[in-house]
Amino acid sequence: MRLCLPLLCFLASPAFASWPGDLAVSRMGEHDGAPVAPEVTVAGFEQIARGLAATVANKPVAPARTLGAAGFDVSFGLTTALLDRGSPTDGDPSGWDLARIDGDAPPFLAIPTLSLRKGLPGSVEVGAAGGWIAGTRQGVFSTFARAAPLEGYEKGPDLAFQLGYATYIGNPELSLGTFDLTATLGGTFPFASDDEIAAGTFSPYLGGGLLLFHARAHLEPSLRDALLGTSSRDDPATLPLTPLPTIQGGFQITNHSVLVRLAVSYTATVGPSAHAGMGFAY
């Protein structure tokens, strides 16, 4: 018991209270030891919410053509999202800098991910992905469903529609989720053959749509009012569903059962992100 007490105290020490990359809304009231006005905190909170919404949203990890009723793929990937570190108000720190423990946010977020897709009859497929925001204790989980009413026609491109939802997890001070409604246009072209059987395909795709995100800061009422008390909204700690237009594109190369993909996306008022992945398709 005597040996356990020092260990418990060590684990509960402030140095282990959070990781340097964690975002803490409760810390946004000051920067470099100086207090920050509530209107700056409100603008910073909205900046963080927009950036996270675009970062955690489902990425364009699938060509326009679906997998087919018996198809399945699993892939590992890395998403890199540039952060908008511009000051939301002239001369003040960005929301990312305010919420970081060290007061200095990095230029981007990196999220290693695992993605799964399963084909269903009728040119429909479903999928899910999970990821970890590097350097933090937070993560991402998302699901989606896709349908391709026009695919496989020689005289026209494939067209797929997607509805998905992604959520930011692991932060007790901030809950956030993003719906995505997108359309993807593309084609699939064989580039190698073996005994008249296509051994490889190249699938470029381009699309876009709308992200709808919501966010809420979970703080004690007195702290919430002190940090976010100046806002035109009735509840400055809650952001209702907010639209963000997005465009995206990329390509996937499949050789037998091995796949490699590269995709980029751009979300209005937030910025660009890139996704690279590789895996297996069956």
Task: Give the predicted TM-score (pTM) of the model.
Answer: 0.87
Q: What is the pLDDT of residue 11?
A: 37
Tokens of 179: 């719906």
DSSP code of 25? G
15 SS3 class = helix
> 135 near 93, Cβ under 8 Å?
no
- CA neighbor of 228 nearest in space, from 31, 20, 95, 37: 37
Q: How would you write the pLDDT of the chain (282 residues) with one tens digit per residue?
A: 443 433 333 333 343 346 778 999 999 998 888 888 888 899 999 999 999 999 999 988 899 999 999 999 999 999 999 998 777 666 788 999 999 877 788 899 999 999 999 999 999 999 999 999 999 999 999 999 999 998 877 778 999 999 999 999 999 999 999 999 999 999 998 886 655 555 789 999 999 999 999 999 999 988 888 888 766 667 778 999 999 999 999 999 999 899 999 999 999 999 999 999 999 998
- H or E, element range at 226: helix 221-228
